[in-house]
Amino acid sequence: MQVVLAFLIGGLFAIAIYLMLRRTVARVIIGLALLTNATNLLIFTVGGLTRAAPPLIPEGQDRPTTPIADSMPQSLILTAIVIGFGVLAFMMVLAFRTTQVVVEDDTDRMQATDALVPVEMTDLAEPYDEEEESHPHDPVPTPRAQGAT
């Protein structure tokens, strides 16, 4: 079981990193969601997998009588899920606002804060014209909007 989960976690991390290296913000967000889940699964797996031994103390006893599962990784994951959910929700709102303000979800075109001198948006690289990314409603690259709307 651990081996299967290890491969699953590794796969999830790989997909998450691949998605976060893409240029569209939407994929970065999906990547982050996968990264959070991969991390949670990792904590779960390295914390030790125990079958059918819930950490419950039998009635009348003051300590467990049989070996039980460690409940700590599960409480860590619960906390991490809550935090991850909140942060992911914030990230989605942020991305939505960004596409409204910047009129762009191509991260390569979000370089106004990196450049040494303020960049004219038209000077940047050619629009992203990878086959799958082209917008059917917008075949001709239009001049990108400048500044806040």
CA angle centred on 78, ends 74 and 79, rounded to 5°: 120
- Residue nearer to other proteins on the CB measure, 44 or 127: 44
Token reading at 42: 């990792």
Residue 60: φ, ψ to 5°:
90, -15
**Among 20-28, 50-58, 60-68, 133-141, which window interacts with other proteins (CB under 8 A)?**
20-28
Q: Is the separation of the CB atoms in 80 and 38 below 8 Å?
A: no
Identify which of 11, 20, 79 has the alpha carbon closest to the alpha carbon of residue 87. Answer: 79
- CA-atom Rg of the chain in angstroms: 23
By CB under 8 A, name the one of 7, 78, 83, 120 that touches other proteins. Answer: 83
- Using the rule CB under 8 A, is 87 a contact of other proteins? yes
- Using the rule CB under 8 A, is 42 a contact of other proteins? yes
Q: In the complex, which residues of this chain contact other proteins (CB under 8 A)? A: 20, 25, 28, 32, 35-36, 39, 42-43, 46-48, 72-73, 76, 79-80, 83, 86-87, 90-91, 94-95, 97-98, 101-102, 107, 110-114, 116-117, 147-148
